[in-house]
Amino acid sequence: MDVQRAKEIAASPVMAHVTCNGAQVYIKAVNEQDGTANIYHLEQPEVQQEVPVHSLEEQ
């Protein structure tokens, strides 16, 4: 995924189907300069991670 699309998904009120390493995730925020996104897995919302945007896939 590219940074612009990740930003669009993060700003949208509609939940998009995004995965990271095969698990469905929610994009909380995108750091455009670093090319990273703050995400959490839907099964574990209390565990947040920062991952490279390119590791996210939109289904």
Secondary structure (DSSP) of 30-46: EETTTTEEEEEETTEEE
pTM surpassing 0.85? yes
Give phi and psi for 38, each to the nearest 5: -90, 120
Domain count across the chain:
1
The whole-number pLDDT of residue 30 equals 98
Range of the domain at 8: 3-58
The whole-number pLDDT of residue 55 equals 97
Please check whether residue 58 is in contact with residue 20, taking contact to mean a CB–CB distance below 8 angstroms: no
The whole-number pLDDT of residue 53 equals 98
Model confidence pLDDT, tens digit, residues 4-58:
999 999 999 998 999 999 999 999 999 999 999 999 999 899 999 999 999 999 9
